[in-house]
Amino acid sequence: MIKQSVERTIEVGDDAYPIQMFGPIDLITIHRVIPNDLMAIQSVWQEWLEQTVHRLKSIPTPHFSISHFDGSDHYGLTVGCEVSTFETIPDGLPRLHLPRRSYVEFTYHGPAEGLMEKQNDLLTNRIPALDIPVNAQQLIGVYTMEQDQITEDITTNFYVPLVDQPL
């Protein structure tokens, strides 16, 4: 379960964004440093899907992406899915533990090809306008679509951690 509680909302202009508390979440992942372009992002997702199907024989949802931005033209992208316990997954799959913490939540609903534009809008406009301290270099995306829904309208939640609780 992703959403556990709404602590409060923060208003920016005419928009209001919830601050969610969630976690802990255990993920199996892959991590790559890539240029900020759609082809590179798609290649990491394709690698993740192939690895997951090969190792787990299924594609669990929701999918997570954790982006680490450092101001350069490349960024770290971690892609993964939640598991109930690390003990039941095959050896060799990298693991990541997201602790219980607070995040500002942004929601996108629309065509899959609009995700990149939404992410860029969050990073350049929405997140800098927040009136609370957040770690703007980290962005967690939670995708609940199945693999065959990638071309349809999708709903994606993006989470930015508060700085008083580093990831």
The per-residue pLDDT for 26 is 86
Q: In angstroms, rounded to a whole number, what is the distance separating the alpha carbons of residues 111 and 13?
A: 25
Query: How would DSSP label each residue in 106-162?
Result: EEEEEEGGGHHHHHHHIIIIITTT-SS-B-TTEEEEEE---GGGTTSEEEEEEEEEB
The per-residue pLDDT for 146 is 56
Cβ-defined contacts of 37-43 (< 8 Å, 24+): 38/116, 41/77, 41/116
In the chain, what are the domain boundaries?
A: 5-161
* pLDDT tens-digit series, residues 8-43: 888 877 888 888 888 888 888 889 999 878 788 889
Global confidence as pTM? 0.81
CATH number of this structure's domain 5-161: 3.20.80.10
Per the prediction, the chain carries an average pLDDT of: 80
Angle (CA) 94-71-150 rounded to 5° is: 55
* pLDDT tens-digit series, residues 58-89: 666 778 888 888 777 888 889 888 887 777 77
